[in-house]
Every structure is written in structure tokens, then in C-alpha cells.
A and B are shown apart, each in its own frame.
Chain A
């Protein structure tokens, strides 16, 4: 009894019940101490709440933040291991339905009674909502609110700075397929949100639901700004090709390599990405 009273906070921690992205009802009995967040986005959100030291397992493609990189691996390219997850004795698992994570982990963890939360962050708004949700689940609701509000404040200041300026027509290449097709950022995604919030607009008129476009479509659109999510040398190789050299964006030196970590992982760093995009779109406004 005395031992219980000696731990401030533990007596007041009530179970928390939430609804996740699969509309499952998840009850977390007490603030989790051993968290396994699957995928970089979920790791970064937990870390942004100041809880990196509670992370006890990650998957192989998690590259940030540095302090979690030596944690045990519970999954990788070929899938996720129920054995390895359980070996970390987790009290919370956070997954996103990508690769086979939700498929492979939700059912066994439910049977074992370990809380599993499925999160989707398809837009910047969902990133913010999930930071707040994770704050509540982890028993640091105030910090979640604070982190999300601070990030929202940075977005607001950026949109304010670029308000009224002419948005450059932008194409962001996010990947290259073996058959020569290119993947581009689309509206209705967090990467698409980032372009618009940073004061740009989509350069491909018909960029609807299909993410794969032919290089001809990009050449024809001839955007004001060409962005390439990846290393500078890959961008140089691409825009060194015959027709690409004559593009408006390339001639005007407005073809830029941008960070994949910031713009292709939906997490707190996406806000850094938005600020960096704003600086590329409106170089003069950035210094205002």
C-alpha cells in the first residue's frame, strides 16, 4: 500500500479508451512504458512527445531520430515478427497499415492482450490529430497538445508569409519506377498538403488519383518549380537528360532536391519540410 502511495501519478492513471484508424476500440490500461512503434512516422511522433526512451523496438527502415537506432529490430522488408515484438515485452504497439504490419501484428497482439493502435496519417491534419492521440494514449496529453499546437503555429506562420504571393506551378517527383514512369506527389496526401501550405500549387493539371506519370507529362506541364525527393546526384542525372535540360524550372535554376525524410514520412519533420518548401517557392518571403 505504501509502495503504491510512493509513486506519484501511478495511482491517478486511469485506463484510456480510444478509437483508432480501423475504428477499433483500444483500451490502454496504464500509460505505456515499453512502446513498439512500427514505421518511421510513428517512431518520430512518439519521439516528438519526448518518449524516445520508452521505445523498445523498431523496424529496419527507421532512420530517425538517432537515439532510437540501436533499439532491437522487430521487422523489416519481409514482414514483422510476432516473436520479436513479444520478446520486447511491450505494453503498447503503434502500427500503420502499410506493408504487412497491421495484417501481421493486430490479430496476435489482440489475442495476447497487448494494446495495438492502428494510425493513418494521410494528411497534415491527421499527423496533428495523431500526435494529440498518442499524447493521450501515453499519458502525456498536455505535451501532445503542446507539441501539436507548436507545429500548427509554425505552419500558420509559414502560410501567413506566403499569403498573397503567386503560387509557383510545382511538380514533386517522389520516386522512379523501373519502367521509366515517375511517381509524383498528389493532392490529398500529406506531401501534397505540404506543397500547398508552403505556397505552391500542383503543376500537373490532371494529377488525380494516379501517382504514376510518364516523363512526357511532366515535360509537357513544364512547371515553374521541379522538386525531386532524393539525393542531389539523382536529380542532376534526371535533369541532365536531353529534353529535361530545356525545362523552364531547370533553365531558371528552380529544380531542387528535397529531403525524403521530411516530405515522405508523415510526422513532425513534415513541418520542417513545409518551411523548406516555402523557402524554395518564395525565396524573398522567407526572409521577411
Chain B
């Protein structure tokens, strides 16, 4: 219980710090004035632009934490992460397409849709390949995933070279690929919140069977689990979660890998507590990383994916080293 209270408290602090952080630091008084409906330009900036962004970052982080936990659980491999199975690569390809090809549909709508279609398609493709080739186990699927991710990455690079022109700057795509939370409108944020809650519910349904799978495939089969079928279902569920995260946050490296590990140290390996804990840890990491991204180098904003990797990497290595020593 203490751990949960601690996690929620840290997230709350992270959210407030995030809302204060920027090239123009706001005080808690500024924040309260903005929430109270002050019409001053700076207050409106805080309320209409910064606060939805901070909350969106938290949700994106939570989704990445969830997705990472599912993938690590399915593949029983601490190195598994959303990017390995092509779902992030597929989402990135879809989003690149949406950013570069002029379509008759508003980009705010088509970008998440294509990102989602890309993630889903890539995952189905990976499962299909491993089925056809008969390598339906976790290792076979991981290898198929790595190959598909490589192909998707190459296709995305090709689109970036072939479709970009001077008006639709290549930098727009590049900055999206490097990760950065889109600032939603308040209704858009509501949609993101609903998606995040649905994803949490969806993955919680898998929790019990992920624990059984953790015992090993033979043992899980002995417990009556249809292992291959479950892996396929769980991977699809994981890719839904990742697609949602990528659609709103671009490619944010590293969080899907690190958050489940940190959460496991806090609440143990059982998935029922692990999934929500990973979501909270992911939310904390991305909220703080986004605050750094927005405030570290005025007047520029650093792509979020770079911050999570550069700032999060050493921190994770440190935790890992301490953990291994004890």
C-alpha cells in the first residue's frame, strides 16, 4: 500500500513540476490562477497549451509502461520492448505517411488512425510470418519482429526521402520520429484518457495468464493454457497499447523497456500489481522527461525521445547495477 501511495504522490509531484517547467517557469500561484480561468495571455498559455501537454505526456508514459510490461511478460525476456516486434515501427510508418502525403482527411484524425493501422498491421504480419514458418514460439516471433521492424524502418526512411518537399519539412517528420508529445485539446485529452483506461483494463484481463506463462511454456500448457493462442492475443493487445502511445507521443525510446523493470523492483513480478505500477512509473518518467525537453535548452525544445534515452539510460544503468550488487 505504501508503494502505491508513494507512486501516486511522486506522479502528482511530477505533474505539478511538469506544469511549472518551461522556458518561462510558472509558480504554483500562476498555475492556480490559470486553472481559475484567468484570461491573461500567459494564463491561457498554461491552461490551453502546457497543462494538456503535461497530462498527455503522463498518459503516453503510462501506455508505454503497460505495453512494455505485456511484451516482457509474453516473451519472458527482460530485453523485450515494444520496438522489437515492429509495432512501433509500423506505427511510425503510418504516421510518416500521414504527415507527408496530403490526404483529404484532417491530419489530427488521420495520424492516429494510420499509426494505429501501422502498428496493428505490423504485429499481424509478424504473427503471420511466425505461423507460416512454423516458429510460433516466442523466439521465432521475436526474430520475425526484428526483421519486420528493419523493413519498416527502411520503408519509412524511403518515404521521408521521396515524399518530403520544402513546404512539408522533413524536420516535422524527423521530430515526430524522435518523439515528442502532441499537445491535445482538452476534448482530445479526454479521448486519450479513455484510451489509456481501456488499455489498462484490456491488459489487466491478461494478467493472470501472463503469470502462468511466466512459469515456462511447458508448465503453462500443463496448467491448461493454449500458449500459442495466448501469445498471439497478448501481442495484439500489446500492439494496441503501443499504437495508442505512438500516435500521441511519437517514438519515445526506452520507457517501455525501463518502466516494467523499475515497477518489478517495487511491486514484484505478479502482473496484476505490475501492470498498473508500470503504468505509473512510465507516466512519471515521461512527465519528467517532457519537462526537461521543454525547459532545458531555451528557446529550443529537445525531442522527447532523446531526453528519455540520454537522461533515462544512465539512471537505469545505475539502478540496475545497484540491484545486481544486492
Contact = CB atoms under 8 A, between A and B. Distances in A.
A17 to B, nearest CB: 22
Nearest to A82: B49
Interface stretch (B112-120, B149-157, B245-253, B298-306): B298-306
B175 A100 contact: yes
A77 interface: yes
B211 interface: no
Contacts of A76: 299-300
B22 interface: yes
A99 B169 contact: yes
Tell me the interface secondary structure of chain B in the complex: loop
Contacts of A112: 41, 44-45, 48-49
A75 B167 contact: no
A79 B23 CA distance: 13
A108 B24 CA distance: 15
A98 B300 contact: no
B175 A79 contact: yes
A74 B300 CA distance: 8
A81 B24 CA distance: 10
Contacts of B185: 111
A113 B168 CA distance: 24
Contact of A86 (B41, B171, B298): B41
Contacts of B318: none
B297 interface: yes
Interface string B171-184: 11001000000010
B49 A111 contact: yes
8 tightest Cβ-Cβ pairs between the two chains A and B: A78-B300, A81-B299, A83-B23, A83-B24, A84-B299, A83-B22, A86-B45, A103-B172
30 contacts: A73-B299, A76-B299, A78-B297, A78-B300, A79-B300, A80-B299, A80-B300, A81-B23, A81-B298, A81-B301, A82-B49, A83-B22, A83-B45, A83-B294, A83-B299, A86-B42, A87-B23, A87-B42, A89-B41, A97-B169, A98-B169, A100-B171, A100-B172, A100-B175, A103-B171, A104-B301, A108-B48, A111-B185, A113-B44, A120-B167
Given A103-B169, A103-B175, 16 more contacts: A76-B299, A76-B300, A78-B301, A79-B300, A80-B299, A80-B300, A81-B299, A81-B301, A86-B45, A97-B167, A99-B171, A103-B172, A111-B48, A112-B49, A113-B44, A120-B167
